[in-house]
Amino acid sequence: MLSRLHHPPRVILIASSLPGEGKTTMAVNLAVALAQQSPTCLVDCDRRNSVLSSIFEPVSELGLGDVLAGTLPLSEAVFDTDVPGLCVIPCGRAAEGAYDLANREAMKETLAGLRERFQFIIVDSPPILPYADGRVLSTIVDGVVFVGRPHLTTREAMRRSLEVLAQVNSAPILEVVLNAAESDVADYQYYRYGYKS
C-alpha cells in the first residue's frame, strides 16, 4: 500500500501455484488487517475448496456463484462478520464454469458493485496451475499477492505460475509472500538482530 500511496490497489487477488500453500490464511489475515482501516470485503472464489463459510458466521449456502448465475442480488450475498469493518461473500452454489471467460463480465460487474461499498476487496483464488479460474480472475483485479510455502512450492511451480500470469496479462504482482517460513534460520535471525556481539 505504501509503495502505491496515491493509487493503492483496492481489489487484490491472493493466489498460489498449488493447493495447501496458505493463500486462504493469507487472504483472511490481510482482509482482517485492512478492515481495521476501511470497509473490506473478502470474496471466496475457490469453489473446489471453499472454507471461508466455515471460518466466519453465519454459514450460508448462497454466495458468489449464485450472483454470477443471476439468481441472487449482490446485496444478499454479502454477510457481516464478527470482525468490525469486514464482510464476506461465500463461494455459494457455484456452477461449473462460473468463473470462466464466459462469466468474466459478470465477475467484473460484481467487483464494480463491491467497489461502491468497500474500500478494499480481497479475492481468495483457486490455485493458478491446475485451474483456469484464478488466471481469469487475475486479469480483472488491481493486483496479485502470490503465496508460496517452503518445502511445498517448488521453484519450477513458482516460475511456471508467474509465466502463466504474464501470458494472460494479469494485474501486477504486488508481493510474493513466503508463508510458514522458519524463523530459526540463521540469516533470518541476523535480520531480526538475533545475533550476539
pLDDT, one tens digit per residue, over 107-139 is 999 999 999 999 999 999 888 888 888 898 999
Interval 130-181: pLDDT, tens: 888 889 899 999 999 998 887 777 888 889 999 999 999 999 999 888 876 6
Q: Whole domain around residue 83: which residue ranges?
A: 7-191
Confidence band of 196 (pLDDT split at 50, 70, 90): very low
> What confidence score (pLDDT) does residue 55 get?
76
CA-to-CA dists, residue 177 to 23, 25, 150, angstroms? 9, 12, 11
Question: How many percent of the chain have pLDDT more than 90?
Answer: 42
Confidence of residue 60 (pLDDT cuts 50, 70, 90): confident
In a domain, 2, yes or no: no
Residue 1 lies in a domain: no
Residue 150 within any structural domain of the chain:
yes
* Domain membership flag for residue 197: no
The pLDDT tens digits for 30-45 are 999 999 999 999 999 8
In a domain, 51, yes or no: yes
pLDDT at 190 (0 to 100):
45
Confidence (pLDDT) at 191: 46
Assigned domain for 196 exists = no
pLDDT at residue 51 is higher than 80: no
Q: Which three cell numbers stand for residue 150?
A: 517452503
State the average pLDDT for the chain: 82
Q: Is residue 68 part of a domain?
A: yes
Strands (E), 7-164: 11-16, 40-44, 79-80, 86-89, 120-124, 143-148
Residue 163: all three cell numbers together: 509465466
**Beta bridge mates, 147:** 16, 177
149 is a domain residue: yes
The percent of residues above 70 in pLDDT, for the chain, comes to 79
Q: What CATH number has the domain bearing residue 82?
A: 3.40.50.300
- Taking alpha carbons only, the member of 107, 182, 122, 124 closest to residue 149 is 182
Q: Say how many domains are in the chain.
A: 1
Is pLDDT at 192 greater than 50 in this prediction?
no
Cα gap 81→84, rounded to integer Å: 7
| Interval 79-99 mean pLDDT | 80
